[in-house]
Structure 1
């Protein structure tokens, strides 16, 4: 067998060194490929071989034969379509290319009474991973194999149709057939290995899924919330995971009173998002969610930026509404929008002006409605916060923000206490006056009796 292989190698070498050239073809594993061969249409006897083994053969009678490897369970993985044979095209079509299909193929046919051959080198490219579904934090390697591997070839890696840049910030070196990285959600997607050799290029791809925290997809994601509104802090693991030892933490201090991390029964186990029921300006800051999956500790850090509308009135009775954020590092511009409603309840939106602060005259009914401050980054809208002004007789009145309601409730409580004290004081005063009147009447009676007694004594002395 070894001698036969050596003889076939020498024949192939002599053909290559002579008037025959080897045509190189790249194919991705599990794909379809066509090995080219132009033949004589008047000579239907054709043979395709690989390493001396017959792949496919057609005799002059038109009978076709397949090699054992290429015809399994009645499935024909190789064929030369009849229509193309009639046009002098003897190209071999291979379905479901496998890694061990790579090698030298020889196409033989008769032309003018002489035997002609064509040499085609098939190189099969395969992308594989050390684990197709690693958990974030684990080591994972991506490997590119070419069968047979060409000498002096270069390889370039791509991820999701872009050139891959490793987590260290460097591109993999040329001819780096294996890339090792720390698994993270950012590595999820289609990995492509591009092989270049002698001016030709071939590629193969495979999908990698990294399990972990999908949303947010990275640390230090900034989220925006408005004062008085509810907000969600996302912490969503890969579907199917059941993280243990889940927790939420705010490094700068205790979690807000309205914070809730309990998951309702309707939420899947992999959704560990938290909720703020009533956001206050002091709730801003860094939040961190964590959990353990497969012995691997996973966490995600996010920043909450809180927005509110501040109000001030100048001595000229000019009202200033200012859009205030706890962090403005990402904000490039502000826009104020006036929203009113027609009698049918349809909102009417009218952009007013650009800028962080909006000025209006106090007492002007044209200011009634919702004033929405939108804040934008260079890429687009970040968020918005709404301030409502309701109509009343007199100056414009602020909307019902949680803080205004609290102040009003406190004021009413103080007035109620004062009213109770005043009523109590009046009652005590009334009781005191009643007692005074009672003792005055008694004194009058006693004084009258004393006068009668004195008159009686004087009458007796005269007698």
Structure 2
């Protein structure tokens, strides 16, 4: 009799199903499952409550719906139970924009044809918080992962920018809450994710950490590339809203690890006083090969002295003459990041339109002494992440004459020498003709003398004829 009474009571009052667990991030949507295997076209009565006392959502058999006062504040309904799923026996509850106060135990009661099915659902909310919310580089930060309600057994794993993160110092109040203590650096900026594992389920929550400090250059010892004779900007930009005090620039001597071992800044170094309060960038207007090396920008923010080092790499092209060719070598003060050199021959038409006529590989370029190879050559050097920089050299025609050009010059020289000799002979002939003319001109100025000369000449001819007759 007692067994029969228990079976009847179970059928009449309903059955309590296994309690599922739902883990969601604060501010997201939570779906609390409630399903029944008894599918019918007859509309059931459904009641969702929290803690068995507070009504969340209710629907009568007639279809009338009502919400608890907490869930319908000023007409903003954060919960709903989609009717389109009722025919499939799915009475799951959707909660939008969940808060930490929403965490707890929920109960779903479905009354259908005199049978009541009860489902308990535990909603756990995961939240990641960062303190202070906007730390300055060098200050202490706390990154906290919390889950409510706190389960007894749960695993916690940290991810930073989608990569596993193992904190150097961490303390765990229990297995569901972890507080990471670190010194704020730019490496810790980004997306922090807390992954909670509990009873075969996984939930995660994230928060973004922005560390205030020097954002440009983005990392320590960033390499900047510039060509000899060009202008280059040395970036030093602080986070928006930070106003550094006593911002200074220094050049560190090569192979020196001492802060006091400083070098002189280049003559073309200048800072723009019209820049914004957070931009302390500098500029080299005429880069020399000797300007390469380490530069340091620093400033004081909220009592912390922030510094960022950068390395200026200078590029130049060295030309050398060889037999029948010219060699161009692309030289860098630091080529540790260079993986490829590429030479580009640039030509210009009558409209000054630029075009590329030739592309070659290699650090050193050998050019034959033909006229079409002269002009502008640009060396582009690349690394693993793409093109690092370039330097241009103008190859003059006379500086590389050889081969056919040399023989052509030799032929032209012979022609010039021959013409010069003929000109000298012609000048001598003209001088002699001029002298004869002047002499005759002086004789014509004395007619009597001319007559005497003529008579003497005639008499001499007569005597010569008489001698011949005898």
Q: Tell me if both proteins adopt one fold, taking TM over 0.5 as the criterion.
A: yes
Aligned mates of 2:247, 2:180 — CA distance in 1: 32
The 2-side partners of 1:391 and 1:239 are apart by: 53
Greater displacement, 112-121 / 304-313: 112-121
| 2:265 match | 255
Q: Corresponding residue for 1:288?
A: 296
The alpha carbon displacement at 1:289 in A equals 0.1
| Partner in structure 1 of residue 241 of structure 2 | 240
Q: Normalising by the residue count of structure 2, what TM-score does the alignment of the two structures yield?
A: 0.74
* CA deviation map 1:211-243 (0-9, x unaligned): 111111111111111000001111111122221
Whole-angstrom CA distance in 2 between matches of 1:200 and 1:354 = 56
CA contact (8 A) 1:251 1:287 kept: yes
Residue 69 of structure 1 aligns to a residue in which SS? helix
- Give the SS at the match of 1:83: helix
How far residue 373 of structure 1 moved from its aligned partner, in angstroms, is: 1.2
| DSSP 3-state at the match of 2:394 | strand
Query: How far is the alpha carbon of 1:66 from its aligned partner?
Result: 2.2
Coordinate RMSD, CA, aligned: 2.6
For residue 305 of structure 1, give the secondary structure of its aligned residue in structure 2.
strand
Q: Look up the SS of the partner of 1:22 in the other structure.
A: coil
Q: How far apart are 1:125 and its partner, in Å?
A: 0.8
Moved over 6 A (4+): 172-176
Q: Give 1:87 deviation, angstroms.
A: 4.2
Q: Relative to structure 1, is the Cα distance of residues 341 and 165 closer, same or farther in structure 2, using a 3 angstrom cutoff? A: farther
Q: 1:351, CA displacement in angstroms? A: 4.1
The residue aligned with 1:327 is 334
Give CA-to-partner distance per residue, 1:167-222, whole Å, 9 cap, x none. Answer: x699x999672222211223222222221112211111222221111111111111
Question: The residue matched to 2:252 in structure 1 has which SS?
Answer: coil
Give the drift of 1:310: 0.8
Q: 375, 383, 389: which is aligned to 1:369? A: 375
Q: Distance in 2 between matches of 1:92 and 1:393?
A: 84
1:141 offset after TM fit, Å? 1.4
CA distance in 2, matches of 1:250, 1:325: 19
Deviations 1:140-174 (A, max 9, x none): 111111111222211222233333355x699x999
Indicate the residue corresponding to 1:430 in structure 2: none
Change (3 A) 1:175 1:107: closer
Output one character per residue of 1:417-462: Cα deviation in whole Å (capped at 9) or x when no partner: xxxxxxxxxxxxxxxxxxxxxxxxxxxxxxxxxxxxxxxxxxxxxx
Asked if 1:313 corresponds to 2:314, the answer is no
Q: 1: distance between equivalents of 2:175 and 2:165?
A: 12
Picking from 29, 35, 38, the partner of 2:35 is 38
What is the match of residue 425 of structure 1?
none
Q: Indicate if the aligned counterparts of 1:335 and 1:351 stay in contact, CA closer than 8 A.
A: no
Equivalent residue for 1:8? none
Larger radius of gyration: 2
Residue 457 of structure 2 corresponds to which residue in structure 1? none
Q: 1:165 to 1:306 in 2, by over 3 A?
A: farther
Stretches of structure 1 that go unaligned for 5 or more consecutive residues are 1-14, 397-463
**Kept after mapping to 2: 8 A contact 1:156/1:174:** no
Flag structure 2 segments of 5+ consecutive residues without an equivalent: 1-12, 254-262, 403-470
Taking the aligned partners of 1:394 and 1:358, their CA distance within structure 2 comes to: 13
Alignment of 1:4-23 (within 5 A): 20-23=17-20
Aligned with 2:365 (options 335, 358, 363)? 358
Displacement of 1:19: 6.1
Structure 2 vs 1, CA of residues 112 and 94 (structure 1 numbering), >3 Å: closer, same or farther? same
- 1:64-213 to 2 correspondences below 5 Å: 64-164=65-165, 177-213=178-214
